[in-house]
Amino acid sequence: VKSEGRNSYQFFKPSIQRSAINRLSLESAMRKAIERDEFVLHYQPQVHTHTGEVLGMEALIRWHHPEKGMMPPFHFIPVAEETGLIAPIGEWVVHEACRQTKAWQNSGEAGLTGLKVAVNLSARQFSDRELIAKIRRALDSVGLNANALEMEITESIIMNDINSTIKQLELLSEMGLDLAIDDFGTGYSSLSYLKRFPINKLKIDKSFIDNVTNSNDDAKIVAAIIGLSHNLNLNVICEGVEDSDQHNWLKTHNCNQIQGYYFSKPLPADEFESYIRNKNRS
Ligand code: C2E
Ligand code: CA
Ligand code: CA
Ligand code: CA
Per-residue pLDDT of 89-139, as tens digits, reads 999 999 999 999 999 999 999 999 999 999 999 999 999 999 999 999 999
- Confidence (pLDDT) at 51: 95
Q: How many angstroms separate the alpha carbon of residue 236 from the centre of ligand 3?
A: 13
- CA geometry: angle 236, 179, 43, nearest 5 deg: 75
Q: How many angstroms separate the alpha carbon of residue 222 from the centre of ligand 4?
A: 14
Rounded CA gap, 220 and 241, in Å? 17
Task: Give the confidence band of 16 by pLDDT, cuts at 50, 70, 90.
Answer: low
Q: Whose CA is nearest to atom 35 of ligand 1?
A: 73
Q: Whose CA is nearest to atom 28 of ligand 1?
A: 73
Question: Do the interacting molecules here have an ipTM over 0.95?
Answer: yes
The residue-averaged pLDDT of 165-186 equals 95
- Confidence (pLDDT) at 17: 57
Residues forming beta bridges with residue 71, ordered by sequence position: 63
Q: Whose CA is nearest to atom 41 of ligand 1?
A: 61
The residue-averaged pLDDT of 144-164 equals 92
Task: Give the confidence band of 3 by pLDDT, cuts at 50, 70, 90.
Answer: very low
Task: Give the confidence band of 228 by pLDDT, cuts at 50, 70, 90.
Answer: very high
Residues 233-270: pLDDT tens digits? 999 999 999 999 999 999 999 999 999 999 999 999 99
With a 6 Å cutoff on the Cβ, whether 266 touches ligand 1 is yes
- Which residue from 65, 66, 63 is spatially nearest to 39, judged by alpha carbons? 63
> Which residues have their alpha-adjacent CB atom under 5 A from ion ligand 4?
183, 205-206
Instruction: Convert 67-101 to b/e letters by CB count within 10 Å (16 or more is b).
Output: eeeebeeeebbebbbebebbbebbbbbbbbbbbbb
- Confidence (pLDDT) at 282: 75
Higher pLDDT: 165 or 263? It is 263
Q: How many angstroms separate the alpha carbon of residue 73 from the centre of ligand 2?
A: 11
With a 6 Å cutoff on the Cβ, whether 236 touches ligand 1 is no
Characterize the bridge pairing of strands 54-65 and 116-121. Answer: parallel
Q: How many angstroms separate the alpha carbon of residue 210 from the centre of ligand 2?
A: 16
Query: Do residues 201 and 237 lie in contact, with contact meaning Cβ atoms separated by under 8 Å?
Result: yes
Query: Do residues 67 and 127 lie in contact, with contact meaning Cβ atoms separated by under 8 Å?
Result: no
With a 6 Å cutoff on the Cβ, whether 45 touches ligand 1 is no
